[in-house]
Amino acid sequence: MDGPLIEFFRAARSAGLRVSPAESIDAVRAVQVVGWEDRCALHDTLALVMAKTVEEKRQFDECFDLFFRRQGFRGEAPTPGEDGDAPDAGSPAAGEAEGAGGAGSELGRMLLEGDQAGLAAAMEAAAQEAGIRNIAVFTQVNLFARRILERMGLNALDREIRALAGTPQGDRLARAREMLREQARDLVQQNLLLFAKGETERWRERMLAESRLTSIDRRDHERMRILVRAMARRLAVQYGRNRKRDRRGQLDIRRTLRRNMAWDAIPFLTIWKQEVIDKPKLVVLCDVSGSVAALAQFLLMFLYALKEALSGLRAFAFAGELIEVSEILERQPIEKAITEIMTKVGFGSSNYGNSLADFSNGFLSILDRQSTVIILGDGRGNRTDPRVPILQDIANRSKGVIWLNPEPRTLWGTGDSDMLRYAPHCRVTAVCATLAQLERIITDLLKDAR
């Protein structure tokens, strides 16, 4: 009785439910009490044990309905006695089928008699033998469907159909074979949704995270937004609270003595001096010209989702000129805010020298030794004056400048690129073309906060 439940737990975990071993044991014991006869009672019992949040209850309902769904075979096979049934023993057609070695096969008999219960049971057994629970990706659907049919006796059925070619019975078996193929594919698709959905989603997310942000298809933008928010939440939980780090080389004598008063101040439990790790303050300058607009949108979304981990964030966007966009991003949903920013200043030709001058003239005073300046852009100013001394002044006033460039390093300094002029004044220069690279860079920045 526990076998189907174990498979159901696997399917539930694949669907996103958090089912611990203890909860699995509780579920098995609960089912032993209520039994399997009443579907509603079984559903409610498992839901009480396994689903803990509103979202998990929705996921549980979908998984339960899919796992315990058993649909009958579609269509009606002809019943014995109809015109065109199997030829009498001794007839030429019967002799040919006998000679082919396929006449009277068990699978052919069930198809002609319309034994849907027998076909369903045979397909379930064949699926178990084929290891259908191990399906991992959608490209395996045809492979597992073929394995199931072969274990049901497809080869013998094919020989029988060839032997009866041109007869009503042969035509009927050929049509039933196609119906059987569809049923096998449906069963495999059902198990793919049950046991591979989670792995498929994780594989797709890994591929998107490693794909260049400038080449992400528009249909994947919503999924990318979900990934960005998830990454930001993960980092915010890890770095959002004020943290302290032990300085293991310096003993805090007063706290150690106070902690060990119960042992006459003998320092059994030592306490070391600690230093507070402050949340970093970021100033972000995003190039939103046509060449890096897609990457800039994801960076703004990522950093604003991180606001729990940051004590202050000032965001600026530029192409030919620079404007502050912090207030726009604060008062509107992120998607609408990005649209407004791109309408105001995006998709133009970039002019880094002019944009740095705009920042220096209007916002240089916001920088202090706790501020980290992040610049996102390819450093291509369309052969305008790069105004490198302004970047040097920004670096001197701040904790440091981090430049994220979506281009490979081999292209830095080629054509109208001024990256090799800017790089000496940056604490970090890094290639940042994918979401995975962006997460690594921001993680390192938060780790290095002092």
Residues 48-60 pLDDT 10s? 888 888 888 888 8
Give the pLDDT score at 76: 45
Which residues have C-beta within 8 Å of that of residue 233, sequence separation ≥ 6?
Answer: 305
Residues 6+ away with beta carbon under 8 Å from 137: 196, 199, 200, 203
- For residue 225, is it within any domain? no
418 shares a domain with 300: yes
Model pLDDT, residue 303: 67
Q: Please say which residue of 143, 172, 199 terminates a domain.
A: 199
322-324 and 371-376 beta bridge pairing: unpaired
Q: Are residues 139 and 254 in the same domain?
A: no
Q: Tell whether 16 and 103 lie within a shared domain.
A: no
Share of the chain above pLDDT 90, in %: 14
Instruction: Tell me if 216 is assigned to some domain.
Output: no
| 426 and 307 housed in the same domain | yes
Does 131 or 316 have the greater pLDDT score?
316
Asked if 311 and 428 sit in the same domain, the reply is yes
In a domain, 406, yes or no: yes
Q: Which residue has the higher pLDDT, 185 or 271?
A: 185
Token couple for 44: 């409610």
**Confidence class for position 88, pLDDT limits 50, 70, 90:** very low
Q: Which pLDDT score, from 0 to 100, does residue 449 have?
A: 53
> What's the CATH code of the domain at 361?
3.40.50.410
Name the band, by pLDDT with cuts 50, 70 and 90, for residue 62. Answer: confident
Let me know if residue 83 belongs to a domain: no
Residue 285 sits in the same domain as residue 346: yes
User: Lowest-pLDDT range, 130-144, 154-168, 216-230?
Assistant: 216-230
| Mean pLDDT for the stretch of residues 349-375 | 91
Is the Cβ–Cβ distance between 233 and 225 less than 8 Å?
A: no
Q: What is the DSSP letter of 319?
A: S
Q: Which of the two residues, 51 and 250, has the higher pLDDT score?
A: 51
Does residue 105 have a pLDDT over 50? yes
Beta bridge partners of 276: 244
User: What is the pLDDT at residue 198?
Assistant: 64
Rg (CA), the chain: 33
- 217, pLDDT greater than 50: yes
Angle at the Cα of 196 from the Cα atoms of 194 and 202, rounded to 5 degrees: 130
pLDDT of residue 244: 53
- Bridge partners of residue 318, in order along the sequence: 287, 322
- Answer yes or no: is 171 within a domain: yes
Crossing angle, helix 221-239 and helix 197-210, to 10 degrees?
A: 90
Residue 77 scores a pLDDT above 50: no
Average pLDDT over residues 195-223: 70
> For the chain, how many helices (H) and strands (E)?
20, 8
In a domain, 438, yes or no: yes
H helix runs in 130-266, sequence order = 141-152, 154-163, 168-195, 197-210, 221-239, 253-259
Q: Which residue has the higher pLDDT, 334 or 373?
A: 373
Average pLDDT of the chain, as a whole number? 79
Domain that holds residue 96: 92-199
3-state helix, strand, coil in the chain (%, to 5): 60, 10, 30
Mean pLDDT of 300-319: 73
The phi, psi pair for 35, rounded to 5°, reads 80, 180
Neighbours of 440 (CB within 10 A): 13
pLDDT of residue 248: 60
429 has pLDDT over 60: yes
What is d(CA 336, CA 313) in angstroms, rounded to the nearest whole number?
19
pLDDT reported for residue 101: 39
- Span 313-323, average pLDDT: 88
Answer yes or no: do 320 and 390 share one domain. yes
In this predicted structure, the answer to whether residue 268 has a pLDDT above a threshold of 50 is yes
Which of 144, 174, 199 marks a domain boundary?
199
Regarding whether 284 and 271 lie in a shared domain, the answer is: no
Residue 39 has pLDDT above 90, yes or no: no
Q: Are residues 285 and 143 in the same domain?
A: no
Q: Name 12's Cβ contacts closer than 8 Å, sequence gap at least 6.
A: 19, 50, 59, 60, 63
Q: 85-94, 110-119, 207-216, 245-254: which range is least confident on average?
A: 85-94
pLDDT at 434: 82
Please report which confidence band the pLDDT of residue 421 belongs to, taking 50, 70 and 90 as the band edges: very high
Whole-structure pTM value: 0.57
**CA end-to-end span of the chain:** 57
Choose between 279 and 195: higher pLDDT: 195
Q: Which residue has the higher pLDDT, 10 or 129?
A: 129
**400: which DSSP letter?**
E
Inter-CA distances, 420 with 286, 386, 413, Å = 19, 11, 5
> Both 315 and 435 in a single domain?
yes
Number of domains in the chain: 4
- On the question of pLDDT at 323 being above 80, the answer is yes
Q: Does residue 240 form part of some domain?
A: no
437 with 335, same domain: the answer is yes
Write out pLDDT tens, residues 363-416: 999 998 888 898 988 899 889 999 999 999 999 999 899 998 988 899 999 988
Task: Provide the pLDDT for residue 443.
Answer: 76
Flag whether pLDDT at 22 surpasses 50.
Answer: yes
Note whether 363 and 431 are same-domain residues: yes
Model confidence at 102, pLDDT cuts 50, 70, 90, reads: very low
**Residue 205 within any structural domain of the chain:** no
Q: Pull the structure tokens for residue 166.
A: 């041109």
Calculate mean pLDDT across residues 264-277: 74
Counted residue by residue, the chain has a size of 450
